[in-house]
Structure 1
Amino acid sequence: MRIVLAGASGFLGRSLVDRLAADGHQLTWLVRRPPAGADQVQWNPSAGALDPAVLAGADAVINLAGAGVGDKRWTDAYKRVIRSSRVDSTGTIARTIAGLPPADRPAALLNSSAVGWYGDTGDTEVTEEAPAGDGFLADVCRVWEAATRPAEDAGVRVVRLRTGLPLDRDGGLLKPQLLPFRLGAGARLGNGRQWMPWISLPDWLSAVLFLLDRSDLAGPVNVVGPAPVTNAEFTRELGAALHRPALLMLPGVALRIALGEFAGEALRSQRVLPGALRRAGFEWAHPDLPSALRAVLHAEPATAQT
């Protein structure tokens, strides 16, 4: 396939580039800086600028662009960056696709979203049919997903990847926790009863390729493992995988002092299940947390292609 990829420099994007290239796909990266090679094309999503010829004739577009949610403290300015970096990139791609002649439009747009859509679900299990919840990230996800509509209205298959918490030692949720856990300072967050919809990075990659190939699947898809766990269980299993005690507790008030508004999202409970993937027959290599941790903690380090 000829695939156009936005967000290739991020944690998930780097790994996806390696996987797609290894499978023999032809990749074109959308980059904001001057291109560093023939496989890169500059665009400016903030200005809605993207050469339609880049997308014309592509088999698929995968958009993972967006500023890191946990990279900086949530000031009002950074919250605007979180929102605009997602909505501007998605809207630019979707409108450009819609503006192409029908014969030139990509067959599919796989667009990143997040389980933040659901807000706090408590102990209630939710699948893709659940409505958007409350809170900043839920609001971001609502407008983020809505920005794909021009492509969908133009007849393109649009998959909204509601990604959970990808597990890999080189990034995502796991990387910043490894050092404190290895030092015996692993701790549950607050009361630890909040549910965490995790997925191993290898399974996330396999799910994206599965969705890329399945022309019958569209709409929101929860890209999560089949067995979410509470934060207390996650803490216990990570400590066991590293052969370290994990008996501490980080109070919610301390998290709020350290992280500000983002702490509220970190303490939210999201018991999200992969309804669409399960119905479609997707098979997880790591269906439970212990097997996922074993796989990602002992994997060879990832090396992104340039």
Structure 2
Amino acid sequence: MGPMTIVVTGSSGLLGSALIRALTADGHQVRRLVRHPPAAPDEAFWNPDEGILDPAVFEGADAVVHLAGAGIGDKRWTESYKRTVLESRTKGTSAVAAALSGMGAPPRVLLSSSAVGFYGDTGDRAVDEKDRQGEGFLADVVGQWEGATARAEEAGVRVVRLRSGVVLSRRGGALAKVLPIFRMGLGAPLGTGRQYFSWISLHDWVDAVRFLLQKDEISGPVNVTSPEPVTNAEYTKALGEALNRTTLPIPTPAFALRLALGGFADEGVLIGQRVIPRVLLDHGHRFNEPDLPTALKSALNE
């Protein structure tokens, strides 16, 4: 497939900025939807909270990659912030889907951000895209988030829902938050440490999106995770070794995590999610950093 014109939301975030660098290097033209006054020729303003989105930005585009949404663990889960987490996803996605559905010739594909939170707590059980929605606040959020793509799908757009795991990068996200603690030798397993952790390196996440942009036969949910999920204890050990630091043998107890993190502790830290990227594997996608030590080394050397 030749060069494409691709519209990207969430372009200033960790994932969006890395993806845009790769797409530009591949020879694609990128248009960015931004919430501030446009400061460059490739930027266009939108404000989904107020329903401001000019469908003309999608004219002539081949694809849309929609990544915008408030951070899940950025703030304590007050009722107000939980509403922000939900609405920052559903409003933006609904705005994009509605704009595409009203076009005579919409882009061929919409890759819309989602998350493995869809599955809830899977414990030791491995799950893939055929499994049903789990329970809990995050599972409900993801269900509504994915449901907001319906109008684009009904209009004939190929919709891929990117159920991403935790993306590993020293530049942002979960890894960047814990690096100072681990560098001081204070890293420790969380809760029991036995809960599974579904992750993917930033490089592999970008490569998976590039792969999905070109695979016309793939639609629906796609788990964007490493094929080798690990337990929290295994992750703690691997990160300590990658940094050449000791880790504490005594886990951080669940009650302390709840005091520090509120509701996010139970749904973002203490639950297990053993997610397998079955669709990517079945379609021959190759992971360059499938094992955790390799991915951590790459992430720390970015």
For the superposition of Structure 1 and Structure 2, which TM-score range results when normalised by the shorter chain? over 0.9
Structure 1 residue 47, shift from structure 2 partner: 2.3
2 CA distance for matches of 1:57 and 1:24? 16
Partner of 2:214: 213
Please, which of 90, 93, 104 is the counterpart of residue 93 of structure 2?
A: 90
Quick one: distance in 2 between partners of 1:277 and 1:148?
Answer: 21
Hey, what's the Cα distance between the residues in 1 that align with 2:294 and 2:34? 35
**Aligned: 1:253 with 2:255:** yes
Matched with 2:149 is 148
Structure 1 partner of 2:190: 189
Superposed, 1:1-306 pairs within 5 Å as 1-101=4-104, 104-247=105-248, 248-265=250-267, 266-299=269-302
Partner Cα separation in structure 2 for residue 177 and residue 183 of structure 1: 10
For structure 2, list consecutive stretches of 5 or more residues without a partner in the other structure.
none
**How far is the alpha carbon of 1:143 from its aligned partner?**
0.4
Displacement of 1:46:
1.2
* Deviation of the 1:205 alpha carbon: 0.4
Q: Which has the larger displacement, 147-156 or 173-182? A: 173-182
Matched residues, number: 297
Query: Structure 1: where are the runs of 5+ without partners?
Result: 300-306
Deviations for 1:54-110, whole angstroms, at most 9, x for unmatched residues?
Answer: 112210000000001111111111111100010001000001100001xx2100000
Q: TM-score, normalised by structure 2?
A: 0.97
Shift of 1:48: 2.2
Measured after TM superposition, the shift of residue 20 of structure 1 is 1.2
Render the CA deviation track for 1:7-33: whole Å, top value 9, x for unaligned: 111111111111111112111111111
Shift of 1:268: 0.8
SS in 1 for 2:193: coil
Cα distance in 1 between the residues matched to 2:51 and 2:223: 28
Distance 1:182 1:51 in 2: 46
Cα deviation, 1:261-290, whole Å, max 9, x if unaligned, reads 111111110000001000010000011111
Q: What does residue 302 of structure 1 align with?
A: none
Moved more, 117-126 or 285-294: 285-294
Q: What is the percentage of aligned positions where both structures have the same residue?
A: 55
2:9 is matched by which residue type in structure 1?
A
Q: Distance in 2 between matches of 1:62 and 1:208?
A: 9
Tell me which amino acid in the other structure corresponds to 1:192: G
Secondary structure in 2 aligned to 1:191? coil
Range that drifts further, 154-163 or 242-251: 242-251
| TM-score (normalizing by structure 1) | 0.96
**Structure 1 outlier segments of 4+, above 4 Å:** none
Q: Which amino acid aligns with 1:58?
A: A
Amino acid aligned to 1:225: S
Point out the more displaced range, 245-254 or 110-119.
245-254
Match of 1:303 in 2: none
The residue type equivalent to 2:247 in the other structure is: A
Mapped to 2, the partners of 1:133 and 1:36 lie a distance apart of 42
Q: CA RMSD in A?
A: 0.8
Shift of 1:230: 0.2
SS in 2 for 1:292: helix
